[in-house]
Amino acid sequence: MLELIERTKRRQGLTAEGLRWLVQAYVDEEIPDYQVAAWLMAVLLIGLGAEETIGLTEALVASGRRLDLVGHGVVAADKHSTGGIGDKTTLVLGPLVAAAGLPVAKMSGRGLGFTGGTLDKLEAVPGLRVDLSATQFVRQAQTTGLVIAGQTADMAPGDGKLYALRDVTGTVDSVPLIAASVMSKKIAAGARFVVLDVKMGNGAFMEQPEAARELAGTMLTIGRAAGLKMAAALSWMDQPLGRAIGNALEVAEAIQTLRGGGPDDLRDLCFGLGSELLRLSGMEADETAARRRLEAVLASGAALAKLREMILAQGGDPAVVDEPQRLPHAPVEVPVYADRPGHVRAIAARDLGYVAIGLGAGRTKKGEKIDHATGIVLHAKVGALVAAGDALATVHATSPDTAAQAVSAVRAAYALGAEPPTLHPLIEEVLR
């Protein structure tokens, strides 16, 4: 291990064998945390070359089980988002793409810090289980064509162990380490077509477009080296996506979107990412045709039916699809009024992420229980013109006290001004 640390320190590079040994020895507890911590800091400060990043990813994949979906006759699609506020894309995109005929088999994560997680949102559906075994995951992909579950413990255990150490040693913010971590899980999960949604802006981990572009490029390089067909969208997360923030509220918004309503930005993003997947799979030759196909399964109700089918398969109450009021709801709802007229120039997404944590909808530490019912619904998004006294948003809380705190924080997150803001497209660029 000392030799590998020295090589990294001296910018001599590690071989794929060296990286594979390092990850496996760490998983097997043959090398101590402090040596790996020193190596991680050297990687963070010096970087890893493309070959090394690929080698690290392969080592993380090799530390556990790699699902052979293709061997089970499932040529599936997957999607990864770097995380944001109000990002319920998976809940809409999955049913859309699956209903269009391309199976979607996705392993998701939980919310942490200011970003939410798909598993928490799904668990807002009464009865729905996300802890599927690998066998159940494959079988549901075969029969339903849509499965969204948690990662099984035997997949990329090296990544889980490394991430836990990075989290407590100041070594999270490294593009090669982030890219290897994400891609090891995508590769292990077995999908053939993967679209990345790399977020930029105030509500994203990578605020700057350059950093987001670098991360996207690194993930594409890794995925393609592993034989995946990939594309990456760079999209803005400088205000929350859609209107709902909070688990049950977001599920309701996803259902609304699959019923043909819902916010424009959410629908557009799902069409954008989904058409990339149809294109990658070869089902459609170009973006226009792919988008038309997705519009058709939305209009026909096939996508909504696919969501219902998935909820049923995972033990959830399928009736929520038709009666969203069956989802948990918070006892206290308090509107947030504009205290003056103006154009909504900005909504501080990250601040709203922290407001959601304060309401119980998110967690600051792994393992913390959350409240599925609480959250925020925005009535005015960036670009809206509001009058004094108009409702900007509604806070959904468990008590008047927590609601009151949230109300003033939500109001503070809105920047109102005399001039309308310059709007930019939600998807800035697609790297194909």
Q: Which residues bind its own copies (CB under 8 A)?
A: 2, 5-6, 9, 32-42, 44-46, 165, 168-171
Identity of the amino acid at 319:
A
**Per-residue tokens: 315:** 């033990």
185 is annotated as an active-site residue: yes
d(CA 186, CA 61): 9
d(CA 295, CA 288): 11
d(CA 432, CA 429): 9
Looking at 20, 185, 186, 363, which residue is catalytic? 185
Contact partners, residue 65, CB within 8 Å, separation at least 6: 134, 152, 154, 155, 188
Q: What is the chain's length?
A: 432
Instruction: Identify which of residues 36 and 187 has a Cβ nearer to its own copies in the complex.
Output: 36
CA-wise closest residue to 306 among 101, 153, 58, 33: 101
Looking at 181, 184, 235, 281, which residue is catalytic? 181
Instruction: Identify which of residues 23 and 330 has a Cβ nearer to its own copies in the complex.
Output: 23
d(CA 309, CA 399): 35
| Cα three-residue angle 353-402-334, rounded to 5 degrees | 85
166 is annotated as an active-site residue: yes
Three-class secondary structure of residue 417 per DSSP: strand
Q: How far is the CB of 47 from its own copies (least distance, A)?
A: 11
Instruction: Identify which of residues 131 and 167 has a Cβ nearer to its own copies in the complex.
Output: 167
Contact between residue 235 and residue 203 where contact means Cβ atoms under 8 Å apart: no
Q: How far is the CB of 163 from its own copies (least distance, A)?
A: 13
Looking at 20, 78, 79, 80, which residue is catalytic? 80
Instruction: Identify which of residues 38 and 332 has a Cβ nearer to its own copies in the complex.
Output: 38
Instruction: Identify which of residues 173 and 323 has a Cβ nearer to its own copies in the complex.
Output: 173
Q: How far is the CB of 183 from its own copies (least distance, A)?
A: 23
Instruction: Identify which of residues 17 and 167 has a Cβ nearer to its own copies in the complex.
Output: 167
d(CA 352, CA 347): 8
Looking at 87, 120, 159, 371, which residue is catalytic? 159
Q: How far is the CB of 366 from its own copies (least distance, A)?
A: 15
Instruction: Identify which of residues 164 and 285 has a Cβ nearer to its own copies in the complex.
Output: 164
Looking at 166, 291, 350, 396, which residue is catalytic? 166
- CA 87, 91, 97, 102 torsion: positive or negative? positive
Beta strand extents in 224-341 (DSSP E only): 229-236, 244-245, 332-337
10 is annotated as an active-site residue: no
329 is annotated as an active-site residue: no
Q: How far is the CB of 165 from its own copies (least distance, A)?
A: 6
11: left (phi over 0), alpha (psi -120 to 50) or beta: left
d(CA 278, CA 273): 9
d(CA 71, CA 6): 41
Q: How far is the CB of 370 from its own copies (least distance, A)?
A: 23
Instruction: Identify which of residues 174 and 281 has a Cβ nearer to its own copies in the complex.
Output: 174
**Per-residue tokens: 232:** 């990456």
Q: Residue 89: CA atoms inside 13 Å, Cβ hemisphere, count? A: 29
Q: How far is the CB of 160 from its own copies (least distance, A)?
A: 16
Q: How far is the CB of 296 from its own copies (least distance, A)?
A: 50
d(CA 304, CA 307): 5
Q: How far is the CB of 309 from its own copies (least distance, A)?
A: 44
Contact partners, residue 267, CB within 8 Å, separation at least 6: 92, 257
Instruction: Identify which of residues 24 and 169 has a Cβ nearer to its own copies in the complex.
Output: 169
Contact between residue 313 and residue 351 where contact means Cβ atoms under 8 Å apart: no
181 is annotated as an active-site residue: yes
CA-wise closest residue to 106 among 196, 181, 221: 196
Mind telling me the catalytic residues? 80, 159, 166, 181, 185
